[in-house]
């Protein structure tokens, strides 16, 4: 079946521009996470959606970052006024929630020039 | 104390040896435990899940869980150069609102040399 789909796979943007990254989770998955991974580094948690509950935004690094999940399915991560330090791979993962594992998308590689 | 801790490595083992990767966690109430493998430039992929104390074997991989000591390990038998990757341990922790949040360790980098 279809896995987690992320788009675009690559994004190059100029410093100061806004970007939107999209994640289509596996159908029926109620949990959705966004992570950031810089070159050679570990997963940096950004935000977690679980069903209709209020999202856990504790990992968002600044108010330039926001995310929404519409209809409990597709999620969009928005980065406003991008900075060079925002360059990284942004990973989305979804799961059934509870004690179930997550399944990752292929990520979006963001480069801010 | 971090919620999920792993030695960052690198762990270097010769081809054919057993690689042992360890993970400790802080929440005694955790009920499920996952191991992910991440190749350089790729996304993490789930390779093992374990829910009960003891060992779970899948091919060359064995996951070991000890809830009393709060650790979970991954053994890779007959290590191959293709096993060279970063291995991530993940454990659900209770989160406010009554649901679990999956917490990842920082990962252990494994290098298998011929």
Query: How many angstroms from the chain centroid is the CA of residue B54?
Result: 15
pLDDT of residue B44: 98
Q: Say yes or no to pLDDT of A9 above 90.
A: yes
Which residues on chain B are in Cβ contact (under 8 Å) with A106?
42-43
Q: Say yes or no to pLDDT of A72 above 60.
A: yes
Neighbours of B23 (CB within 10 A): 26
Q: Say yes or no to pLDDT of B94 above 80.
A: no
Which of B51, B101, B104 is opposite residue A56, by nearest beta carbon?
B101
State the pLDDT confidence band at A98, using cuts at 50, 70 and 90: confident
pLDDT in tens, B15-60: 999 999 999 999 888 889 999 999 999 999 999 999 999 999 999 9
With beta carbons less than 8 A apart as the criterion, state whether B75 and B47 touch: no
B100/A33 Cβ within 8 A: no
CA angle in degrees (0–180, nearest 5) for A2-A47-B102? 70
Integer Cα distance of A53 and A56 in angstroms: 9
User: Mean of the pLDDT values across residues B76-93?
Assistant: 96
- Residue A18's alpha-carbon distances to A8, A21, B42, in angstroms, are 14, 10, 25
Integer Cα distance of A46 and A26 in angstroms: 19
Strand, coil or helix: A70: helix
């Amino acid at each position: 079946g279809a896995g987690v789909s992320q788009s675009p796979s690559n994004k190059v943007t100029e410093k100061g521009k806004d970007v939107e990254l999209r994640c289509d989770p596996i159908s029926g998955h109620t949990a959705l996470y966004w992570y950031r991974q810089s070159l050679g580094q570990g997963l940096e948690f950004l935000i977690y959606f679980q069903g209709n509950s209020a999202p856990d935004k504790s990992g968002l690094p600044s108010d330039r970052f926001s995310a929404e999940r519409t209809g409990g399915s597709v999620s969009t991560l928005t980065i406003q006024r991008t900075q060079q330090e925002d360059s990284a791979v942004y990973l989305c993962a979804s799961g059934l929630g509870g004690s179930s594992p997550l399944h990752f998308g292929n990520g979006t590689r963001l480069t801010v020039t | 104390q971090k919620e999920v801790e792993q030695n960052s490595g690198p762990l270097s083992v010769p081809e054919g040896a057993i690689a042992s990767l360890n993970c400790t966690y802080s929440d005694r109430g955790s009920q499920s435990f996952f191991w992910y493998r991440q190749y350089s430039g790729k996304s993490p992929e789930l390779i093992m899940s374990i829910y009960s104390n003891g060992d779970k074997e899948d091919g060359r991989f064995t996951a070991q869980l000890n809830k009393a000591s709060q650790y979970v390990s991954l053994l890779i038998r007959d290590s191959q150069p293709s096993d060279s990757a970063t291995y991530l341990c993940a454990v659900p922790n209770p989160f406010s609102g009554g649901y679990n949040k999956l917490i990842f360790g920082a990962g252990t980098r494994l290098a298998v040399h011929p």
